[in-house]
A and B are shown apart, each in its own frame.
Chain A
Amino acid sequence: AQSVSQHNHHVILSEAASLELGCNYSYGGTVNLFWYVQYPGQHLQLLLKYFSGDPLVKGIKGFEAEFIKSKFSFNLRKPSVQWSDTAEYFCAVSPIKAAGNKLTFGGGTRVLVKP
C-alpha cells in the first residue's frame, strides 16, 4: 500500500518569506500527485496536481511543486507568502490503476504566516 509523509507538521514564518513543504511517498508504480489546502474552518481545495510531463507544476495562488521521481518527492513551494496563506496543506498520492484510484493523504502541515 502506498504511504505519504509530510515531514514538517508545523511551519511558522513571516509574510514575504519563502515557503517549502516537503512531501515524500512510497509506491513502486506510477502515481498522480496532488497538493490540497485547507483554510481554517473550511474544506480541502485542490492547489495543484501532477500527472505527467513537466515535473515543475504551477498551481493557484502562486504555488508550485516539483516532482522528483528519483527521490519520490513532490515538494510544494511559494516564493513569497502572504498572511492569507495560513492554512493546512496536504500532499496526496493516487496510484494509476485500471480500476479507479483512491487518494492517500499525508498527515498535513500547518502553516502559520505572521503579518
Chain B
Amino acid sequence: DAGVIQSPRHEVTEMGQEVTLRCKPISGHNSLFWYRQTMMRGLELLIYFNNNVPIDDSGMPEDRFSAKMPNASFSTLKIQPSEPRDSAVYFCASSLFRSQDKYGYTFGSGTRLTVV
C-alpha cells in the first residue's frame, strides 16, 4: 500500500497566484480530510469528504479556498489568489468511513506551501 500521496511536496509561489494541492487517498478509503498546520494555529481541519461528498467545510478560511473530490481516488485543494498568510503545511488524510473511529486517519507527507 502506497499510503496517502500528496503532491507537490514543496510549493513556492508569488502572492496572487493560484495554487493547487493534490491528494490521492488510500485505495478503499472513502473519507478524506484536508488539514493545515502552522506554528500559530496548530492543526486545523479545513474540509472533509465522505464518499466524495463534502460534509463539513466550516474550517475553510475564506472563499479563496476551494476543495474538490471528483472521484474516490483524487482530491484537490485550491487557493486563488494565494496570500503570504496561507503559508503552511497542508496535510491530506484518509480513512474508512464509519470505521475511522477504530483506525484513525492515515496522513500523507504534506505539502509545504510558501507564498512570497
Contacts and interface: CB of A to CB of B under 8 A. Distances in A.
Do A and B share a complex?
Answer: yes
Interface of A: 32, 34, 36, 42-46, 49, 51, 90, 92, 94, 96, 99-108
Contact of B107 (A44, A94, A96, A99): A44
Given A43-B109, A108-B42, A102 B56 contact: yes
Contacts of A43: 91, 107-110
B105 interface: yes
Contact of A51 (B50, B102, B105, B107): B102
A51 B101 contact: yes
B33 A102 contact: yes
Contacts of B93: 44
A96 B106 CA distance: 19
B107 A45 contact: yes
B43 A108 contact: yes
Interface of B: 31, 33, 42-43, 45, 48, 50, 55-56, 91, 93, 97-98, 100-110
Given A43-B91, A103-B33, 9 more contacts: A32-B102, A43-B108, A44-B91, A46-B103, A46-B104, A46-B106, A90-B43, A92-B104, A103-B104
B104 A49 contact: yes
B100 A100 contact: yes
A100 B48 CA distance: 11
Nearest to A47: B104
Given A34-B104, A107-B42, A100 B98 contact: yes
Q: Which 10 A-B pairs have the closest CB atoms?
A: A105-B43, A43-B107, A32-B101, A107-B42, A44-B107, A46-B104, A43-B109, A101-B101, A34-B104, A100-B50
A103 B43 CA distance: 10
Contact of A103 (B42, B45, B102, B108): B45
B96 to A, nearest CB: 10
Nearest to B3: A43
